[in-house]
Chains A and B, each alone.
Chain A
Amino acid sequence: MSLFLTSRRLRGGLTGVAVAAVVLTTAACGGTTRGEEEGSSSGGDAAGASADPDAEIPADLAIAFLPKQLNNPYFDVAAAGSERAAGEIDGEFSQVGPSEASASSQVSYINTLTQQGADVILTSANDPNAICSALDQARSGGASVVTFDSDTSPECRDVFINQATPEGIAEAQIDLMAEQIGGAGQVAILSATANATNQNTWIELMTEYAASEYPDLEIVATVYGDDEDEKSFQETQGLLQTYPELKGIISPTTVGISAAARYLSGSEYKGRVALTGLGTPNQMREYVQDGTVTAFALWNPEDLGYLAAYAGAALAAGQITGAEGETFTAGDLGEYEVGADGEIVLGEPTVFNADNIDDFDF
């Protein structure tokens, strides 16, 4: 801190820092580098504990629901599902969480839950690694950890509830489209960004599935609305002008499908060009009611929360340990099996149409 005294010393200090940095850089060539640490153990380690499928779920389990952030309609619906499940097994449900969805904001909430001795923590991770050490401490404190919607690294939790498999999502959208256009004709895809991992996986699977199941259904183009409302709107307009024979548009992103629906509902194509994809009931309600859209799909977040809570209870009771092949019953959703890496798949996406859309609020 003598740095501030004179300018000569200041310069000397700065040079010193720079020299030290260079020296350290060269000296450290044998230092700690990437990929050095191999065979990092623990991969969904269920060894040691054995599952007892007939174990009773104890009463008064403290079940904590920790979403990515509070006041998010999607997670509010999931929380309602978890709360319903907690009620059915006489557990004590609580919801805690940060007000902003940053990578580390969940950590102090997990720490608090550890301190309170929560039995089950249901969480959707903002970052796959940032909450790992906190979850480790929670688990060594006796909590069972279930991730849903967004997973952590597999070694940081007991099980992950996957909302749907990529195959399930892809096939549901193609089936819906084929049904609406009679299985034949030109179809275009309105995606998010060109490098969106999820969307690209689905588009690839959709193309394969369509080619094998509906040979007359031709996917003529994939355009990118970048998950921006305005851009998606313009891309929809462009598609309809470029392909006058277009029979339908599939948009596997919630921003895209609602922008496309808004364009269609105000255009001459309303009712003539089919639109389906992944959307939320609240965004799509008016377009289903005015006939622009017949049916679209998304997993049901309430079921997701409900299943997560039952999986947590099954873990706490010892019915499952998170090892592949174990089974448990999740209330009225029925029986589920733990897959590889402790993954449990919720099932087929839910299809929303004029008959059922008013039953959902998210």
Chain B
Amino acid sequence: MTVETAPAPAAPAPAAPARRGPTLPSGSVITTFLVLFLVVAAVSVEGFASTRNAGFLLLDVVVIALIALPLTLVVVTGEIDLSVASTVGLSSAVMGQLWIAGLPLEAIVPLVLVLGGVLGAVNGFLVTRLGLPSLAVTIGTLALYRGLAFVVLGDQAVADFPRAWTTWAISSIGSTGIPTVVVPLLVLVVVTAVVLHATPVGRSLYAMGNSEDAARFSGIDVARTKLWLFVATGVVSALGGVYWTLRYGSARADNATGLELQVVAAILLGGVSIFGGSGGLLGVIAGALLLASVRNALQLVNVPSDVLNIVTGVLLITAVVAPQVTARVKGRLARRRPAS
């Protein structure tokens, strides 16, 4: 599989063996699914279609979507970073500890972002310089960073952040119900989408995901690019940690525990191949929104949380299995056609 031939903004459907006729842009299936679900839920679930509920729903998606942005790029290159939620927790803990120490928030925030960059660089270094598998490395740092978070803040909670900051974190634009933070998030979405889909750098990520050797022979500095992707993921996760702390008004070492699975779920549901090389950002955002909307709608009709987890799991497996099955069926049909 070579990637240089792929159409710029539209990566092919995951693992489609034969590219015949027009292919749908990646993510269009999940986006259609999202729109359908929103319509059905708005009609049938009482209280779903209201500005207040939209605000609640979007607030729950913000951090997941935020971290999914750089992580999508990482996954496209065929790597993974499972330490993102622990980076959120450690950033939150450090933010709390620095706040106790009397530093101003205006200084704490950049310091925490630098810390995130360092944490990401550690992952990147171990993966690209020592050649360790990113799955193993980041499972390790998942435990390591969470452990450090508890060393930093223990089991205490720091909660006396200024009201102006914490209310901003959950404020909405006028009476629309849309959280204010959606605006900076959208800016980041656009920037990331442009980088991934419309620059040579972005295209080179797909090349790496498909064949690292081929990418290297065509002059791409694979190691350096991946290192910086891990750094970017660390910085953005730290930003997520800052936002999480303000949104809940509480800095804690156990903040965002398990969030990495929700982020990875959104990415996979959005049609990004876990093996790298395909997928797009539109699908990922749609995936994050779909997961949150399904949970929200089911909660509104009083479905217990255990069942919610089952539904999320089934949805995810379907999303990962469905393209493989379609590809296989298509492949079989294509082979049969000339014979008949």
Contacts and interface: CB of A to CB of B under 8 A. Distances in A.
A334 interface: no
A103 B252 contact: yes
A70 B53 CA distance: 24
Given A1-B195, A129-B250, A130-B248, A96 B302 contact: yes
A128 B159 contact: yes
Given A96-B299, A109-B299, A128 B107 contact: no
A3 B192 CA distance: 12
Interface in B14-61: 46-47, 50, 52-53, 56, 60
A3 B56 CA distance: 35
A98 B305 contact: yes
Nearest to A69: B305
B106 A31 contact: yes
A115 B53 contact: yes
Q: Which of A96, A98, A102, A130 has the most CB of B within 10 A?
A: A130
Contacts of B167: 133
A202 B159 CA distance: 26
B169 to A, nearest CB: 9
B249 A130 contact: yes
Given A1-B195, A40-B163, A130-B248, A34 B111 contact: no
Q: Which of B164, B250, B308 has the most CB of A within 10 A?
A: B250
A242 interface: no
A132 B162 CA distance: 14
A71 B53 CA distance: 27
A109 B302 CA distance: 10
A12 B228 CA distance: 13
Contacts of A3: 228, 232
A20 B110 contact: yes
Interface residues of B, number: 61
Interface string B324-336: 0000000000000
A246 B99 CA distance: 48
Contacts of A47: none
B105 A129 contact: no
Given A32-B104, A127-B157, A104 B296 contact: no
A28 B250 contact: no
A4 B201 contact: yes
Contacts of B164: 32
A335 to B, nearest CB: 34
B111 A21 contact: yes
B100 interface: yes
Q: How large is the interface on A (under 10, 10 to 19, 20 to 34, 35 or more residues)?
A: 35 or more
A268 interface: no
A131 B170 CA distance: 12
A99 B305 contact: yes
Interface string A20-38: 1100110111111111110
A111 B100 CA distance: 30
Interface string B95-114: 00001101111110011011
B258 interface: yes
Contacts of B166: 133
Interface string A95-107: 0111110111001
Contacts of B53: 111, 115
Contacts of A32: 104-106, 162, 164-165
Given A103-B157, A114-B52, A25 B111 contact: yes
B114 A115 contact: no
Contact of B157 (A10, A20, A70, A129): A129
Contacts of A70: 304-306
Contacts of A207: none
Contacts of B221: 7
Given A17-B117, A112-B299, A36 B162 contact: yes
Given A4-B228, A108-B56, A129 B159 contact: yes
A102 B254 contact: yes
B305 A33 contact: no
A302 to B, nearest CB: 21
A103 B300 contact: no
A30 B102 CA distance: 11
B136 interface: no
B305 A129 contact: no
Given A130-B252, A133-B248, 14 more contacts: A1-B201, A17-B114, A30-B104, A31-B107, A33-B104, A34-B102, A37-B160, A102-B257, A112-B296, A114-B56, A115-B47, A115-B52, A116-B300, A130-B157
24 contacts: A3-B228, A5-B201, A7-B221, A20-B110, A25-B107, A25-B110, A28-B105, A29-B104, A31-B104, A31-B105, A33-B103, A35-B102, A37-B163, A94-B302, A96-B302, A99-B305, A111-B53, A115-B53, A128-B250, A129-B250, A130-B157, A131-B248, A133-B167, A153-B159
Lowest 7 CB-CB distances: which A-B pairs, in order?
A31-B104, A28-B106, A31-B106, A129-B159, A130-B248, A111-B56, A25-B107
